[in-house]
Amino acid sequence: MPESAAAFGADLLSQLKGGTSFASSHPPGASGDLAPIPALVWPGMELSWLGVNLYLFIDTFCWYEEEESFLYTRVILGSTLAWARASAVCLNFNCMLILLPISRNLLSLMRGTSSCFRGPWRRQLDKNLKFHKLVAYGIAMNATIHILAHLCNLEYYHWSQSPEAEGLVAALSKLGNAPDETYLNPIRTFHTNTITELLRTVAGITGLLISLALILIMTSSTEFIRQASYELFWYTHHVFIIFFIGLAIHGAGRIVRGQTAESLLLHNVTFCREHLAEWQTAAQCPVPQFSGKEPSAWKWVLGPVVLYACERILRFWRFQQEVVITKVVSHPSGVLELHMKKRGFKMAPGQYVLIQCPSISSLEWHPFTLTSAPQEDFFSVHIRAAGDWTEALCKAFGADGQALKEPWSLPRLAVDGPFGAALTDVFHYPVSMCIATGIGVTPFAALLKSIWYQCCESQTQWKLSKVYFYWICRDPGAFEWFADLLLSLETRMSEQGKTHFLSYHIFLTGWDENQAFHIALHWDENTDVITGLRQKTFYGRPNWNHEFRQVAYSHPSSNIGVFFCGPKALSKIIQRMCRLYSSADPRGIHFHYNRESF
């Protein structure tokens, strides 16, 4: 199994390394398949980004092609001026956007305050990174156009100083030689070479520098390099600091020059361009005056840069916060359970945290779904050894069967979070159906525990009166800790006399000959042979028609919330079932498939 580590270098950029599979909470290949993409949200983001880019590009292009104050500039440069400026505006826009998707704390804050960012947490992380990459490609493309266009511009400027240039072009290039004239052509003589001229201007030097920075960042961010050496990717990416500084001062030389407004009033461009000979003599054509365009990139990027700086400071501060490990449990299936405490930590079921272990790697942050309920005074995660980092962690905590570790010898951990959307909508329905496949069961652990605390230990009457839980799994061995949880819930509920509150169905979809033999032998026993639970495991995939029909018959006129965590294909089936079994009668049964919540 490859290092399925979403190695987080205190940054969502780390997601770029392992693609979409995370260590331990998720098997490889479960990439982004925990819940369906809300069809209207994700393509909408890409499309609006593209739309804004196109609008900015075309609008700026047309402006520079038609604008009077740049008419004389266009005489020398032609369309390449417009190409360069249009791509520059798009570059400003994209450079503004690129820092935003990777500010995870910022996004978390926003998510907390507004509901329009709710979405499955895994999807959110993937989305952010995909967007970051998309914007990066946008920057690369616009940078290419910009560089090539300005390359041509410089050559045209140079050529227009040559003895072969004549007419308006030559006259315009000579402007600036006399004391009361302002220049148009930044290259003042033909007897120089364009490279020297480039290196004499602020724009040229910074342009070269930031192009190099961009190229270095891109070549070290390919998936191959990310997976081979996360450190190289992460450290080289910090060249973006040079990129942004260079970008901010790139326009300081003001070499994109257009006619000043006062000059336009005095000098009638449409007339004067045809009457070059009369420039000095005619009253209509005083010498045109030019000024350079103000640098504007800094205005676009200042905000995001400040926000990102705050983000990094926040991460560092969170990294410094103390995390106390209160309990370490080593489950036989190779799962490590950690109970931790942190000051001011508040969570909701369904959220996840990012954990870093500096003694293993000072750069990697790995996401783990929280498996404890908010009512408990600790928070817990279950970590399965599924890659380099998680194996090292399990070893460091003594999970590989060696002698018990002393509390003071345990490695220090840093925890960032919690992030992600909360699964609280479950409580708003009188009946809820929770369906999880494989690894998708982890967030439901927190949910079930939370349901238990809220419904059985609190005195208030909750709306929720029945929970159906379906778990479809190929290899329950890896989740025997979850089966343990169900077992303890089952016992506690029968103690409280609330056996009918939770009805769970486990479906085993993969077995081999030995297991089948074993199951057949123990078929008639009271408890299930695989899980030890009183409710028997089913074999094979669930018949959803049957399940939904049963639920519909038991609750004829209720609103039922359906929560699903698993692959897209199954989510489509579930959605279809919800539609099929919802009654047309408004007072009848309705299945509400919650896509946004989870």
| Closer of 67 and 155 to another protein (Cβ) | 155
Report, in Å, the least distance between residue 233 CB and another protein.
Answer: 9
Contact status: 229 vs another protein (CB under 8 A) = yes
| Closer of 205 and 573 to another protein (Cβ) | 205
Report, in Å, the least distance between residue 5 CB and another protein.
Answer: 9
Contact status: 232 vs another protein (CB under 8 A) = yes
Distance CA 106, CA 572 (A): 32
Supply 198's token pair.
Answer: 């480039």
Contact 304, 99 (CB under 8 A): yes
Question: Which 511-550 positions form the footprint of another protein (CB under 8 A)?
Answer: 513-514, 517
Neighbouring C-beta atoms of residue 516, cutoff 10 Å: 11
**Which of these segments, 218-226, 248-256, 490-498, 588-596, binds another protein (CB under 8 A)?**
218-226
Contact status: 192 vs another protein (CB under 8 A) = no
Contact status: 224 vs another protein (CB under 8 A) = yes
The vertex-148 CA angle with 146 and 150, nearest 5°, equals 65
| Closer of 200 and 549 to another protein (Cβ) | 200
Q: How many CA atoms lie within 13 A of 523 on its CB side?
A: 6
| Closer of 357 and 413 to another protein (Cβ) | 357
| Closer of 225 and 325 to another protein (Cβ) | 225
Question: Which 120-159 positions form the footprint of another protein (CB under 8 A)?
Answer: 144, 147-148, 151-152, 154-155, 158-159
**Which of these segments, 22-30, 187-195, 259-267, 416-424, binds another protein (CB under 8 A)?**
187-195
The vertex-467 CA angle with 516 and 381, nearest 5°, equals 75
Contact 301, 247 (CB under 8 A): yes
Contact status: 188 vs another protein (CB under 8 A) = no
Q: Binding residue for another protein (CB under 8 A) from 201, 211, 465, 503?
A: 211
Cα distances from 565 to residues 443, 482, 483, in angstroms, run 9, 15, 17
Distance between the two ends of the chain, CA-based, in angstroms?
28
Contact status: 215 vs another protein (CB under 8 A) = yes
Report, in Å, the least distance between residue 419 CB and another protein.
Answer: 24
| Closer of 353 and 363 to another protein (Cβ) | 363
Contact 86, 53 (CB under 8 A): no
Question: Which 396-455 positions form the footprint of another protein (CB under 8 A)?
Answer: none
**Binding-site size, another protein (CB under 8 A):** 40
Each as own residue / partner, the long-range contacts of residues 151-155 (CB below 8 Å, 24 or more positions apart, any chain) are: 152/77, 152/80, 153/77, 153/80, 153/81, 153/84, 154/187, 154/194, 154/197, 154/198, 155/194
Q: Give residues with Cβ within 8 angstroms of 222, minimum separation 6.
A: none
Distance CA 42, CA 432 (A): 27
Contact status: 219 vs another protein (CB under 8 A) = yes
| Closer of 233 and 352 to another protein (Cβ) | 233
Distance CA 358, CA 576 (A): 47
Report, in Å, the least distance between residue 195 CB and another protein.
Answer: 5
The vertex-252 CA angle with 250 and 255, nearest 5°, equals 90
**Which of these segments, 115-123, 220-228, 484-492, 545-553, binds another protein (CB under 8 A)?**
220-228
DSSP 44-104: HHHHHHHHHHHHHHHHHHHHHHH-GGGHHHHHHHTTHHHHHHHHHHHHHHHHHHHTSTT-H
| Closer of 213 and 256 to another protein (Cβ) | 213
For residue 467, the surrounding DSSP H or E stretch is strand 466-473
Supply 407's token pair.
Answer: 């509390």
DSSP 75-88: HHHTTHHHHHHHHH
Contact code string over 465-504 relative to another protein, x by CB under 8 A: ----------------------------------------
Q: Helices 80-98 & 297-320, crossing angle to 10 degrees?
A: 20
**Which of these segments, 47-55, 98-106, 188-196, 470-478, binds another protein (CB under 8 A)?**
188-196
Q: Binding residue for another protein (CB under 8 A) from 227, 333, 503, 515?
A: 227
Supply 443's token pair.
Answer: 């967030």
Q: Give residues with Cβ within 8 angstroms of 75, minimum separation 6.
A: 168, 169, 172, 273
| Closer of 5 and 99 to another protein (Cβ) | 5
Q: Binding residue for another protein (CB under 8 A) from 216, 239, 242, 519?
A: 216
Report, in Å, the least distance between residue 215 CB and another protein.
Answer: 6
Contact status: 291 vs another protein (CB under 8 A) = no
| Closer of 147 and 325 to another protein (Cβ) | 147
> What is the phi/psi pair of residue 337, to 5°?
-110, 130
Contact code string over 19-58 relative to another protein, x by CB under 8 A: ----------------------------------------
Residue 406 burial by CB count (10 A; 0-12/13-18/19+): exposed, middle or buried? Answer: exposed
Report, in Å, the least distance between residue 345 CB and another protein.
Answer: 28
| Closer of 56 and 385 to another protein (Cβ) | 385
Report, in Å, the least distance between residue 149 CB and another protein.
Answer: 10
Report, in Å, the least distance between residue 194 CB and another protein.
Answer: 4
| Closer of 158 and 590 to another protein (Cβ) | 158
Supply 294's token pair.
Answer: 């103000």
| Closer of 38 and 78 to another protein (Cβ) | 78
Report, in Å, the least distance between residue 475 CB and another protein.
Answer: 20
Distance CA 560, CA 434 (A): 10
Distance CA 62, CA 51 (A): 16
Q: Binding residue for another protein (CB under 8 A) from 182, 194, 535, 575?
A: 194
Token pair 């999970």 is at which residue?
A: 399
Contact status: 391 vs another protein (CB under 8 A) = no
The footprint of another protein (CB under 8 A) covers 3, 7, 144, 147-148, 151-152, 154-155, 158-159, 193-195, 198, 208, 211-212, 215-216, 218-220, 222-225, 227-232, 361, 364, 388-389, 513-514, 517
